[in-house]
Amino acid sequence: MIDTHCHLTDRRFDEDRERVLDRARHAGVTHFIEIAYAPGILPRAQAFAAEHPAVFLCPGVHPSESAKVPLSWIETLRAEARHPRVVALGETGLDFYRDYAPRADQERWFRAQLGLADELGLPVVIHQRSALAETFAILEELRPQAGGVLHCFDDGPEAVERARALGFRLGIGGCLTYGHGPLEEAVKVAPAGMLVLETDSPWLEPEPRSLRRNEPGLLTRVLLRLCELRGWTPEEADRITTANAKDLFRLPIVPAGGGS
């Protein structure tokens, strides 16, 4: 399995980060995309990836960080995004649930990152809360050329069709285990090629929750719920979601024993 969205450089992993990685590998999670969603996080994420070949990077400006980061930082982001371990930009988008930043700042950085993604040929990782209509309106206006993923997807079948038309995938994580009916229906009807797995560690622990933190090794809980909804075996779900992640992010992963 591939965890396409995690925050393993978060301070909550400082005491046992290597053990977290070991547990993930034991559970069958082989690769990770670390989301560096603010300038202050990027150096830690880069150092982490330098130590771990299975870690790829996604740098960007989260909507809640958008008022803190001058738009001139996009020149630094442009340079950092050319690093060979970078596979996407983000997470970017709109968050009207928290409103930690003025909406104008959120949209300004959202549009800037979509433009940079097209310039560099990278997919985008989209964060949205209480802003689905506004987020889709901008995506459908600008139509990112390399597609992307709707991170932490928890909407219904109507959103699936709009995402499909944009060439986007759906990031399926702990929310799938929370008993959300529209999300379950969306996962049932979505084309298999749209589904990728994620944890958003340390947030959104799958059921049964301890309310402590999430980590990549718990991705098996999401996988099993996905199997229940789709009628897949774990092997099928692993194969399909891994292939989707490799395709979207163009991950240079060679299977054990060689081949492509």
Q: Which two tokens stand for residue 47?
A: 């150092």
Question: For residue 252, is the peptide bond before it cis, meaning its omega torsion is within 30 degrees of 0?
Answer: no
Residue in this structure with the two tokens 């993930």, named with its chain if needed: 24
- What does DSSP assign to residue 196? E
Rounded Cα gap, residues 150 and 154, in angstroms:
9
Beta carbons of 109 and 44 less than 8 angstroms apart: no
Phi and psi based region of residue 259 (left: phi greater than 0; alpha: psi -120 to 50; beta: remaining): left
pLDDT in tens, 223-234: 999 999 999 999
pLDDT in tens, 56-81: 999 999 999 999 999 999 999 999 99
pLDDT in tens, 124-152: 999 999 999 999 999 999 999 999 999 99
- Structural domains of the chain, ranges and CATH numbers in brackets: 2-249 (3.20.20.140)
3-state secondary structure of 127: strand
pTM of structure: 0.96
